[in-house]
Amino acid sequence: MQVQKRKSLIMKTLGKNIKKLRGEQSQFMLASENDISVSIISTIERGMKDPQFTTLFKIAEALNIKPSKLVKLVEDGLPEDFTLIDK
């Protein structure tokens, strides 16, 4: 699998998890209550943006989870033998 496709898989998995954790709360409410751009939330949830590390921390905090938990959810959603680096 190409590196770009693997990156895309990570971003899509992240987006799905954020959307799931957000639940019934709108993107607008999540964004406005936590000083995050609605467009950032939207593009991340659609798997189109590779967010900055600090943005991940902010989103995790807004979702009331630890950043490590958010990363673990993404990791668990990837194939078992997933690797980003060609070996």
Q: Model confidence over 29-78: pLDDT tens digits? A: 999 999 999 999 999 999 999 999 999 999 999 999 999 999 999 999 99
Phi, psi angle pair for 53, to nearest 5°:
-60, -45
Phi, psi angle pair for 25, to nearest 5°:
-70, 135
Domains belonging to the chain, first-starting first, are 3-75 (1.10.260.40)
pTM above 0.95, yes or no: no
Give the confidence band of 85 by pLDDT, cuts at 50, 70, 90: confident
Q: Are 41 and 27 in contact (CB under 8 A)?
A: yes
